[in-house]
Structure 1
Amino acid sequence: MSGNAIKQLLLLIAATLVLSLPPAVMADIFMIKQVDGGLEVIKDGKLLTRYLTKSGAKPVLWPLIGPHGNEITRAYPMRDAGEHERNDHVHHRSFWFTHGNVNGVDFWAETEGHGNIIHKGFTIAKGGDTAVIETKNDWVDSKGKKVCEDVRRLTFGKSGGAYWIDFDTTVTASEGELLFGDTKEGSFGVRVAGTMKVTSKMGGKIVNQQGDEDLQAWGKASPWVDYVGPVKGNTVGIAIMNHPTSFRYPTYWHVRTYGLFTANPFGLHHFKNSNDVDGSHKMAKGETMKLRYRVYVHKGDTEAAKIAAQFKVYQGVKK
């Protein structure tokens, strides 16, 4: 048998093995696909999200697809505002991590003089039973001067009819002394779909571990918060959980009834409405800060999705 014939036979065997896998096995496999501007994360043969290396001033995930196949984060400004969306806060880009005061530079807003988070490369991009994307990023001011750097790892996995994204980042004071300032404008989170937000009055609801709801959940420290609401006739939720090994666990929450939903361990004087507290964090050159979150995307409300139990599972994950 010729070398070419052997090669064709091996390809046929490999294809047969893939096609013969039970559907349940095939459904568990995540795939990573390179596309213009970043990567796609594929699950069950369908788009789950895209990692965009640059959207505005930073890398983001968009769109984020929910368990019923619909987008569950705001489309604007990547696309025109959708149902019950407003074209406000152009810097609220689906799923992101930044901060509003880093050595005096605003990486949060996209106004004049803002900083930029520059994607330097993918160090890991692999699929399988879970998918992992790891990147290196430089934080630079409006003149291009480097302020600090981060490595962020996103791990995608499934849990029954839900899925999760673990966002683990290490910020390094690579250039010298580094100060993450006390401001509510930060840091890690999402902007939910327009129909999910509480102010749309379609059933949207915010709840934290202690049971604080909607407006009362803003500025509180809690291990987790769940934002639930309707999308295309189905109730879905996005819960963000804070790992016990994360910096300043449990984090405080800058979560708004108009759809903004972020974890922020720095903005204490805003959250406590007091100038007697300071949530700033200073690092010497070479020091690091680790922030760890799980975004848990689920069907149904907080109780139906057993978010308290899911947090216990996440709490036990070794980091």
Structure 2
Amino acid sequence: MIQCKSLVWIVALLFISNGPVIAGKVKPDYIKITQVTAKQRVDITIGGELFTSLLYADSLKKPSLFPIYTAKQNMVTRGWPLMPKHMDRTDYSHQFGLWFTYGNVNGADYWNNQPDADTIHNVYGYIRVQKVSGISNGEGKASFTMVCKWFNPGAKAVLEETSVFVFKVENNLRIIDRFITLKALTNVDFKDSKQGLYGFRAATELGQQVSSLENAMLTDANTTKTDSIPLTGHFTSSEGVEGEAVFAKRAKWMKLTGVVNNEPVTMVLMDSPQNVNYPAYWLARSNGLMSANPFGADIFTNGKEKFNYSLAKGKQVSFKYRFVQGGDKLDKDTIEKLFADFSGERL
């Protein structure tokens, strides 16, 4: 298990941002991006308050946006293992924030590669950020570019990733668009795996009420009863499938609604018609995980479909995803409009 003291640097996440001000305060929709190279992170603030950070410390094995906050400063991502909260669920320590990885790239696992992973009995790859550039700040919109490499267990780079992150504030919604290009540095096979590709792990409160959480899987387990934390989460897919039934189904987007600290919240993760094998299958679980996966056909269909994807050396493949965070007013019509607008954009 990850020890908090090994990640002490994360406590410096909160800070006050400089930017255009009105009556002594930063404009509420002004988005500022600040790279903190010494701490291996990039901070994104809205109106001077932290929205999220790109964390890419070597100990994390992969870059991820964590934590993610609402405008009322409630965290919609699970805190554990990086910023444990009271009664946080403690399963799957590799699932934190919003990330892009895959479970089988030339036989190496880039999904389950948590810092305390068993590297003797399992083959794990890791991702290292090479450069952050193109930082652009502004009112209602900001962006930056990240270049990183995917290394196999033998420390050989097999993929070069270029991701453009675009952050927006629109009609009280917070939006993260990510445009990803993977270039093969050797012949690459994405073998069938349920563990991928673009994932989000929600706050423990946003788990679904299908069963009680085991005490062993909670922080403060010895002092607090399991039933003291309300599970408020509920999945709805673009195809109208709800609850646990969304698992392994294809959909163009997935919505998770619930309540965090008495605030109604909605998160939507969107696939794109430009992506490979659209619409994606969904790895969506009652613990608050939702992930769009175009590559897991064999597993998700019990062998009825196959989709092992190959990329020859020097070739590229692109993906685009949208994450939207809002309140209880984020209905299907609004989501469909946001999806249509996003789908019309070019990579």
User: TM exceeds 0.5?
Assistant: yes
Q: How many residues align?
A: 299
List alignment gaps of at least 5 residues for structure 1.
Answer: 1-16
Q: Say if 2:150 is the partner of 1:139.
A: yes
Residues in 2 aligned to 1:19 and 1:74: alpha-carbon distance in whole angstroms: 32
Which residue number corresponds to residue 106 of structure 2?
Answer: 103
Which residue number corresponds to residue 118 of structure 1?
Answer: 128
Q: Say if 2:70 is the partner of 1:66.
A: yes
Residues in 2 aligned to 1:245 and 1:193: alpha-carbon distance in whole angstroms: 30
Residues in 1 aligned to 2:243 and 2:202: alpha-carbon distance in whole angstroms: 14
> 1:151-170, aligned counterparts within 5 Å?
151-170=162-181
| Range moving further from structure 2, 118-127 or 260-269 | 118-127
- Contact 1:228 / 1:301 at 8 angstroms: preserved in 2? no
> 1:144-223, aligned counterparts within 5 Å?
144-174=155-185, 176-199=186-209, 202-223=231-252
Which residue number corresponds to residue 37 of structure 1?
Answer: 40
Which residue number corresponds to residue 7 of structure 1?
Answer: none
1:263/1:21 CA distance change after superposition, 3 Å = same
Which residue number corresponds to residue 10 of structure 1?
Answer: none
Amino acid at match of 2:201: R
Secondary structure, counterpart of 2:250 in structure 1: coil
CA-to-aligned-CA distance 1:204-238 (integer Å, 9 cap, x gap): 10000111011111111111100111100011011
Q: Say if 2:81 is the partner of 1:77.
A: yes
Please identify the structure whose Cα radius of gyration is greater.
1
Which residue number corresponds to residue 313 of structure 1?
Answer: 341
CA-to-aligned-CA distance 1:51-80 (integer Å, 9 cap, x gap): 112252101111101232111001111122
- Contact 1:205 / 1:213 at 8 angstroms: preserved in 2? yes
Residues in 2 aligned to 1:105 and 1:71: alpha-carbon distance in whole angstroms: 32
Secondary structure, counterpart of 2:143 in structure 1: strand
How far is 1:295 from its partner? Answer: 0.1
Secondary structure, counterpart of 2:63 in structure 1: strand
Q: TM-score, normalised by structure 1?
A: 0.88
- Determine which of 200, 221, 227 is the counterpart of 2:256: 227
Amino acid at match of 1:28: D
Amino acid at match of 1:163: R
CA-to-aligned-CA distance 1:256-283 (integer Å, 9 cap, x gap): 1111111110001111112x42221001
Which residue number corresponds to residue 94 of structure 2?
Answer: 91
- Contact 2:233 / 2:288 at 8 angstroms: preserved in 1? no
Amino acid at match of 1:153: V
- Contact 2:204 / 2:231 at 8 angstroms: preserved in 1? no
How far is 1:28 from its partner? Answer: 2.8
1:84/1:304 CA distance change after superposition, 3 Å = farther
Residues in 2 aligned to 1:261 and 1:20: alpha-carbon distance in whole angstroms: 39
1:18/1:290 CA distance change after superposition, 3 Å = closer
- Determine which of 278, 288, 292 is the counterpart of 2:320: 292
CA-to-aligned-CA distance 1:28-57 (integer Å, 9 cap, x gap): 321112222211101111111111122521
